[in-house]
Amino acid sequence: MSEKQYGMLVRTGRCVGCQTCVVGCHVLNECPEGVYLGHLETVGHEDNYLVDGTFPNVRVTFRPHLCNHCAKPACVENCPTGAMRKREEDGVVETDPEVCIGCGTCVKACPYGAPALDEERKVAVKCNLCRPRVERGEEPLCVCSCPGEARLFGDVNDPSSDIAKAIAETKAEPLLPEEGTEPSVYYC
């Protein structure tokens, strides 16, 4: 656990469900129509934007999803071609479209359903935590464009990082830890 591992903290109390993250990412990554690299969940509801409780005592929790860049990624483990890999340098899980055959195994293997299939190009597509941006010294688009500043990005394995401190402080938890993939995205 000492290697660098980029990850994210999503502060759901700041999320208003606008989907700027979902839409901005889709555009930036030039995804085909209908393919998104993240999605919004309205916790407890099939349809987004339904609320809990009864009028006037209602509340709602939104949870934006993205690839969890797991320490033990099921997508990598199950990828038949080796297109899906986890980078040692920063823990980012990404796929090489030149190698990927679009079989969809990663989609099925991932406990979070994070990779998507680009059926036109016959390749899996997924969040790479905006690695090219990060390497240029910028934040992932979903982080810098979030109007509620709901997301923090950084090295979750470095206890001195802002994100690691915030995860500890807020007692944030990853989703589905019981799947054993050791996700790097935390929610509070």
Nearer to other proteins, 100 or 156 (CB): 100
CA 33 to mean position of chain CA atoms? 20
Contact in structure between 48 and 40 (CB atoms under 8 Å): yes
Tell the smallest beta-carbon distance from residue 162 to other proteins (Å).
15
**Residue closest to 131 by CA, chosen among 32, 11, 29:** 29
CA–CA separation, 105 vs 79, rounded Å? Answer: 6
8 A C-beta contact, residue 116 and residue 125: yes
> Minimum Å distance from CB 182 to other proteins?
15
* Structure tokens given for 29: 């990554």
Nearer to other proteins, 49 or 159 (CB): 49
111 CB neighbour count, 10 Å cutoff: 18
Return the number of the residue (144 or 161) whose C-beta is nearest other proteins: 144
Q: How far is the CB of 186 from other proteins (least distance, A)?
A: 16
Distance CA 5, CA 45 (A): 32
Residue with smaller CB distance to other proteins, 78 or 161: 78
Smallest separation, CB 109 to other proteins (Å): 5
